[in-house]
Amino acid sequence: QFTDEPGQGAKEVQAYTLLAGALRRNPDGAARADAVMDQLVLNNPYSAEAHLSRAQYVATTTETANAKSNLDKAFALAPDDPDVIVSMAAFAIDEEDFARAQELLDRALEQFPERQGVYMPLARLASAQKDPQTGIEQLTRGVERADQVQFLLPMLLNLQLAGNDVAAAKATCDEM
């Protein structure tokens, strides 16, 4: 139980997340882990980070409606937070709401072109729409613009290899 007393971590989102993760690994810990994450949003009702963390946690269970509710709350609290926008888009991709995913990712790309985390779901969206070439284009653009590319390059390489573009794959390997 976290409290508002100094040093007790009531506002420390990561403390709840770590505790819930540890509890969830135990065979009988799922209910306790769920209670920890419920307490997170009760103690931090106006924190987008808390709602996003709970949404990400709940998404690992079978409660997708609950995850969506938490994502919606995080988005309402912080509509310009890049992690919230990208998480909303990822959920939209999972739900096959490709138009909403594209809208969110376009917004994220406009506001945060330097973040590699924006380009990965763009490629995932293209793949979900059976358009690997657009995925390659998005990842290539990300490699050119993002301030970090360590996750983009392997994704780009995989798409290039899947498309039998050996020359492009070799060039990507040379960048790694």
The confidence score (pLDDT) of residue 107 equals 95
55 near 94, Cβ under 8 Å?
Answer: no
What percentage of the chain exceeds 90 in pLDDT?
Answer: 52
The confidence score (pLDDT) of residue 116 equals 92
The confidence score (pLDDT) of residue 8 equals 47
Kindly report the pTM of this predicted structure: 0.71
Among 117, 113, 85, which Cα is nearest to 100's? Answer: 85
Among 74, 106, 76, which Cα is nearest to 89's? Answer: 106
* Below-70 pLDDT ranges, the chain: 1-11, 62-64
The confidence score (pLDDT) of residue 7 equals 44
The confidence score (pLDDT) of residue 5 equals 52
Among 9, 10, 7, 30, which Cα is nearest to 20's? Answer: 30
